Amino acid sequence: MAGLKADFGHYTHAIVRGIPASLAENALRTHAGEEVDLAEAQREEEAYVEVLRAKLGLEVVELPADESLPDCVFVEDAAVVCGDTALITRTGAESRRRETEEMKAALKDLNLNLVEMTDENATLDGGDVLFTGQEFFVGLSKRTNQRGAEILADVFKDYAVSTVPVLEGLHLKGFCSMGGPGLIVIGSSEPAQKALKIMQQMSDHRYDKLTVPDDAAANCVYMNLPNKGHVLLHCTPEQYPESAKVFEKLKDYMLIPVSNLEKVKVDGALTCCSVLINKKANV
């Protein structure tokens, strides 16, 4: 079994995509509720991209928004990248399948080895894929099925792949993410805690956990960057005050609160809005 990937969290590039006006009315959402303020969602997205580009120095590839694809800003679902291999997914929602076209072209331009999930019995959203640096956990959810997980295991053969039932919410990473090497950030709800227990039982590795009161706040973006060290994009105190206090206690991190008040209304989380790539791994 592979050990901790030495360059876990190292990234040089990010792929993001603009927000189409159609997101406000037509993006998929698990709960009908408050209307999305489109201008505010676009400001949030610009601020997110600015953090990646200006603050963190990543090379950001910005794909154009497509009005016929209301969810296209959530690029994470269209591809899973690990090392120099990119798996182009077959997204669980049929209305999102064409999102992979622009993604495929962008990943090809970055000279990654592309594998396409073409099996018509398979579905997989990147939001269901948690890579810990040592192994993959794949959420079996409304969007991702067993066949999708099997294909991912076949593509990333160096790593163990275990499946985890997602009992509530849209995606596995709706209530967890990596907060550092060997550190799983997890929400407090019963389904989240159950999922963590399953992950711990199935793994040969020991993980530390960082529990936050709000499930949605457990979705954060971890990076380990030259001259910056451990970096964590996490929820703002305005959105999740109690969870933000947990992150604020982390030592030796560059902590970057990022607002996600609008995109969360259509089930968008922080990891959803970028595909992170380490081109240095490929030279």
**Considering the rule CB under 6 A, would residue 38 count as an interface residue with ligand GLY?**
no
Residue closer to ligand GLY, measured from CB, 26 or 162: 26
Q: Rule CB under 6 A: which of 238-267 touch ligand GLY?
A: 266-267
CB 9 within 8 A of CB 180: yes
CB 93, min distance to ligand GLY, A: 6
**Considering the rule CB under 6 A, would residue 27 count as an interface residue with ligand GLY?**
yes
Residue closer to ligand GLY, measured from CB, 13 or 263: 263
Residue closer to ligand GLY, measured from CB, 144 or 243: 144
Q: Rule CB under 6 A: which of 203-232 touch ligand GLY?
A: none
**Considering the rule CB under 6 A, would residue 137 count as an interface residue with ligand GLY?**
no
**Segment interacting with ligand GLY, rule: CB under 6 A, options 26-34, 52-60, 115-123, 189-197:** 26-34
Residue 204: partners with Cβ closer than 8 Å, 6 or more residues away: 1, 160
In the bound state, the residue with its beta carbon closest to ligand GLY is 28
CB 209, min distance to ligand GLY, A: 26
Q: Out of 13, 82, 171, 220, pick the active-site residue.
A: 171
CB 116 within 8 A of CB 166: no
Residue closer to ligand GLY, measured from CB, 52 or 272: 272
The binder of ligand GLY chosen from 10, 18, 22, 28 (CB under 6 A): 28
Pairing verdict, β 13-17 and 275-277: antiparallel
Is 171 considered catalytic here? Answer: yes
CB 201, min distance to ligand GLY, A: 28
**Segment interacting with ligand GLY, rule: CB under 6 A, options 22-30, 49-57, 115-123, 156-164:** 22-30
Q: Rule CB under 6 A: which of 40-79 touch ligand GLY?
A: 71, 74
Active site residues: 171, 272
- List residues near ligand GLY by CB under 6 A: 27-29, 71, 74, 93, 170, 266-268
